[in-house]
């Protein structure tokens, strides 16, 4: 080790520069033939340095679209970010040039997709796909980049790395593919890592191993993580703070302990009630009645009111304001006004 | 990773190819001989007009060409000769068939090669552009024009091109000049109209196939991954998406390469008077020149079989997921 950077106590560091990525009033709409899909309809959150922020919600609530919007990866047409900003290092990623954005993608902010099977290119080897990214951003020679790629794969717990480098995605198991995907996203030492349901497409044992990798990323690299999931068990295990999203809007935002222990929004409470409890025997698992609203015709007022058992008259008329319950715990619900 | 199974596969396919080629030769050999006409026919009118005995002449000519013998004997002789690389004697041109083919194959080859390159290169380029700019004016124009291109029969297009560019505008010669040296600009210029004639249909097809293959792949997860890696759009489309779109395109291009030997090139050669294999085969059919007809058929069959084999082997390199064992 050469020069040692003087270690700054984390508390001071936090005061100095707390937020690494800020998303505000983000609105991403899809203009389809059947109507305007308001997939993300005014989402705000801040990712703090070194924390793991979980975006939680059912399928179709806008979690993935939020992640893709951050990096400008929305397919256009039909999608478009119509409003809001994504602040990263004094730069608004929504308005910056395609070239600036390309320099950030994969280098500063990396993303891991849900299904490594379709996210990896079937006709290139794992090695080539990782090396490509390293050489693009770090300007390394092929052999150097190859060594780096192998080190990363080894770190991710992939056995016989040399051979794995020459494998095509179809020759690896689902868990191995996901590890390769994570290795690829980490290859340029990004500041922020967005993980879009990285454990959804793998089975339970692999899920535990993948989560271990994320634990290590937090512990060793102090990685700032945006972890997208619908699984509150995963949130409890890995998250520092959670943002609960419903109908393209944030309904509750709080530290994970409060989300799990003291949920305020009826939707969050419903999600937690749905978690099966192994100590109790029940015939039926709990569920939230109804289905996620059609994003083309979101209900008036609070998008959750048709399914909410505490709904009042005002809920179908007015959008609920953001209410502060305690330090860092905010909820958008008429109940707490 | 070795591909030891590929060697066995190629050997197996080569054995099949020989069997199929033999079958085709046999069928062609019999078919041309059971027809009602004879190589003597073209002499008969003159002979009869000058009062000579027609049947005597026919017998003499048929005996000279050896087509009076029982068909099984002819077939046995032909096969034995073929294995000694003797392709027989062309009745109508009075030279060994092998020499005839040696002089003429290059004209077909240059036409087919240039047309395929022209069609594949332009077609793929326009197709990619059209897919990337889906539902724009450029895309609609390309799709509409390619629809027209596919619908035009190439012999008609050839005649129209001659009328416009040769007869009206005088830019190109209407007829292919065989005296030009092969590797010269003049020869290339002489091939412009034939290449457009033969290539337009293929080009239009490739535009459509490329467009749809690219559209299939442009929305795939790995394309988003490629963008998320920070790659420039050129690499995302040209490398990550196109590399996956190649397989169906390659199939079509190779298939065309095989089929134009007997289809489009044949007609184009006749329209422009290019003395290629299509032209000599065309003449041989009308002259009942059996050995030439069989030989050209055999060459065509063999080419198609080999092109198919090359295509199948190339698949395993283009898409690592494909195996044949």
Q: What pLDDT sits at residue B24?
A: 93
For A145-169, how does the pLDDT look when each residue is reduced to its tens digit (9 = 90+)? 999 999 999 988 888 889 999 999 9
pLDDT at A5 over 60: no
The residues with which A242 forms a beta bridge, in sequence order, are: A54, A254
A58, A75, A38: which is closest to A294 by C-alpha? A38
CA pair distance A275, A282, nearest whole angstrom: 12
A28 in Cβ contact with A40 (< 8 Å)? yes
- A:B CB pairs within 8 Å: 70
Q: What pLDDT sits at residue A194?
A: 94
pLDDT at A140 over 70: yes
> In the predicted model, what is the mean pLDDT of residues A24-53?
89
- Cβ of A73 within 8 Å of Cβ of B228? The answer is yes
Q: Is residue A324 within 8 angstroms of chain B, CB to CB?
A: no
- Cβ of A105 within 8 Å of Cβ of B227? The answer is yes
Q: How many CB atoms lie within 10 A of CB B300?
A: 20
Residue whose structure tokens are 């020759």: A171
Q: Is residue A170 within 8 angstroms of chain B, CB to CB?
A: yes
- Token pair, residue A263, equals 């949920």
Q: What pLDDT sits at residue A2?
A: 43
Q: What pLDDT sits at residue B114?
A: 93
- Spell out the domain ranges in chain B: 4-91, 98-318
Binned at pLDDT 50, 70 and 90, residue A322 comes out as confident
- Cβ of A123 within 8 Å of Cβ of B318? The answer is yes
Query: Using CB atoms and an 8 Å cut-off, which of residues 198-257 of chain B contact chain A?
Result: 219-222, 224-233, 240, 243-244
Q: Across all residues in chain A, what is the average pLDDT?
A: 86
Binned at pLDDT 50, 70 and 90, residue A313 comes out as confident
- Look at domain B98-318 and name its CATH class: mainly alpha
CA pair distance A81, A76, nearest whole angstrom: 9
B268 in Cβ contact with B199 (< 8 Å)? no
State the CATH architecture for A16-108+190-278+287-336. 3-Layer(aba) Sandwich (3.40)
Burial of B127 (0-12, 13-18, 19+ CB in 10 A): buried
CA pair distance B281, A38, nearest whole angstrom: 66
Q: What pLDDT sits at residue B264?
A: 73
A325 in Cβ contact with A331 (< 8 Å)? yes
Q: What pLDDT sits at residue B180?
A: 82
Through-space distance between the first and last CA atoms of chain A, rounded to whole angstroms: 56
Q: Which residue of A has its CA nearest to B245?
A: A123
Three-state secondary-structure class, residue A24: strand
Stated as kind and residue range, the H or E segment containing B270 is helix B264-272
Q: What pLDDT sits at residue A207?
A: 87
Q: What pLDDT sits at residue A3?
A: 47
Of A118, A168, A170, the CB nearest to B221: A118
pLDDT at A201 over 80: no
Please state the separation of Cα B244 from the chain's center in Å.
Answer: 27
A221, A294, A277: which is closest to A34 by C-alpha? A294
- Token pair, residue A306, equals 């048709």
Q: Which DSSP string corresponds to B294-316? A: HHHHHHHHHHHHHHHHHHHHHHH
Q: What are phi and psi of A45, to 5 degrees?
A: -165, 165
Q: Across all residues in chain B, what is the average pLDDT?
A: 88
Q: Is residue B85 within 8 angstroms of chain A, CB to CB?
A: no
- Spell out the domain ranges in chain A: 16-108+190-278+287-336, 109-189
Binned at pLDDT 50, 70 and 90, residue A17 comes out as low
pLDDT at A10 over 50: no
Residue A194 with chain B: CB contacts under 8 Å: none
Burial A269-294 (b: 16+ CB within 10 A, else e): bbbbeeeeeeeeeeeeeeebeeebbe
- Token pair, residue A95, equals 């308005």
Three-state secondary-structure class, residue A226: strand
Of B222, B224, B230, the CB nearest to A107: B230
CA pair distance A118, A110, nearest whole angstrom: 17
Residue whose structure tokens are 């007022």: A301
- Report which DSSP code applies to A315: G
- Cβ of B230 within 8 Å of Cβ of A121? The answer is no
Q: Which residues of chain B have pLDDT under 50?
A: 1
In this structure, chain A runs to a length of 337
CA pair distance B311, A255, nearest whole angstrom: 59
Where helices occur in chain A by DSSP H, the ranges are 10-16, 63-70, 98-104, 116-119, 126-138, 142-155, 161-165, 174-186, 204-221, 232-238, 256-261, 266-273
Judged by average pLDDT, the poorest of A97-111, A303-317, B9-23, B147-161 is A303-317
CA distances from B103 to A108, B210, B257 (A): 64, 37, 21
For A174-186, how does the pLDDT look when each residue is reduced to its tens digit (9 = 90+)? 889 999 999 999 9
Q: What pLDDT sits at residue B2?
A: 57
CA distances from A35 to A29, A41, A306 (A): 10, 15, 21
pLDDT at A97 over 60: yes
Of B230, B233, B240, the CB nearest to A121: B240
């Amino acid at each position: 080790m050469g020069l040692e950077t003087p270690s700054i106590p984390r508390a001071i560091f936090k005061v100095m520069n707390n937020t690494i990525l800020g998303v505000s009033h983000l609105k991403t709409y899809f203009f389809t033939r059947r109507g305007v899909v308001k997939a993300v309809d005014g989402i705000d959150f801040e990712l703090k340095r070194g924390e793991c922020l979980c975006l939680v919600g059912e399928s179709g609530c806008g979690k993935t679209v939020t992640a893709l919007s951050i990096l400008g990866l929305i397919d256009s047409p039909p999608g478009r970010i119509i409003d809001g900003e994504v602040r990263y290092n004094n730069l608004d990623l929504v308005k910056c040039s395609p070239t600036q954005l390309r320099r950030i993608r994969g280098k500063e902010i990396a993303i891991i997709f849900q299904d490594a099977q379709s996210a990896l290119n079937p006709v290139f080897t794992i090695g080539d796909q990782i090396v490509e990214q390293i050489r693009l951003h770090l300007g390394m020679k092929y052999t150097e980049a190859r060594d780096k790629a192998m080190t990363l794969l080894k770190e991710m717990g992939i056995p016989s790395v040399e051979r794995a480098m020459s494998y095509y995605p179809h020759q690896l198991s689902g868990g191995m593919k996901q590890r390769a995907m994570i290795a690829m996203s980490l290859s340029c030492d990004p500041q922020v890592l967005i993980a879009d349901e990285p454990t959804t497409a793998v089975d339970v044992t692999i899920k535990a191993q993948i989560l271990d990798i994320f634990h290590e990323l937090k512990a060793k690299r102090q990685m700032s993580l945006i972890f997208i999931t619908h699984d509150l068990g995963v949130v409890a295990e890995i998250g520092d703070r959670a943002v609960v999203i419903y109908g393209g809007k944030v309904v509750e935002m709080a530290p994970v302990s409060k989300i799990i222990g003291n949920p305020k929004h009826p939707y969050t409470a419903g999600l937690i009630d749905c978690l099966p409890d192994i100590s109790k025997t029940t015939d039926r698992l709990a569920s939230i009645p109804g289905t996620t609203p059609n994003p083309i015709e979101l209900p008036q007022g609070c998008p959750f009111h048709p399914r909410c058992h505490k709904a009042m008259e005002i809920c179908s008329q007015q959008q609920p304001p953001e209410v502060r319950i305690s330090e860092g715990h905010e909820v958008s619900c008429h109940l707490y006004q | 990773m070795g591909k030891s199974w590929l060697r066995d596969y190629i050997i197996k396919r080569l054995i099949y190819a020989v069997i199929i080629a033999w079958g085709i030769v046999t069928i062609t050999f019999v078919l041309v001989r059971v027809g009602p006409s004879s190589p003597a026919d073209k002499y008969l009118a003159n002979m009869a007009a000058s009062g000579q005995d027609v049947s005597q002449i026919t017998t003499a000519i048929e005996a000279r060409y050896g087509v009076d013998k029982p068909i099984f004997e002819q077939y046995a002789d032909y096969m034995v000769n073929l294995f000694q690389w003797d392709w027989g004697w062309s009745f109508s041109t009075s030279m060994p068939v092998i020499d005839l083919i040696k002089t003429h194959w290059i004209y077909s080859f240059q036409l087919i090669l240039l047309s395929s390159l022209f069609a594949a290169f332009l077609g793929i380029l326009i197709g990619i552009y059209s897919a990337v700019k889906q539902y724009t004016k450029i895309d609609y124009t390309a799709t509409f024009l390619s629809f027209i291109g596919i619908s035009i029969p190439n012999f008609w297009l050839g005649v129209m091109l001659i009328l416009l560019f040769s007869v009206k505008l005088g830019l190109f010669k209407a007829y292919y000049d065989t005296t030009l040296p092969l590797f010269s600009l003049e020869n290339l210029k002489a091939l412009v109209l034939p290449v457009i004639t033969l290539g337009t249909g293929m080009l239009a097809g490739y535009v459509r196939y490329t467009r749809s293959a690219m559209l299939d792949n442009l929305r795939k997860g790995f394309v988003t991954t490629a963008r998320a890696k920070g790659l420039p759009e050129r690499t995302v489309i040209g490398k990550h998406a196109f590399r996956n779109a190649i397989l169906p395109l390659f199939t079509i291009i190779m298939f065309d390469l095989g089929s134009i030997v007997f289809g489009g090139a044949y007609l184009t050669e006749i329209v422009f008077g290019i003395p290629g294999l299509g032209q000599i085969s065309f003449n041989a059919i009308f002259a009942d020149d059996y050995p030439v007809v069989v030989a050209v058929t055999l060459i065509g069959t063999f080419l198609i079989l080999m092109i198919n084999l090359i295509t199948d082997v190339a698949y395993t390199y283009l898409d690592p997921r494909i195996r044949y064992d």
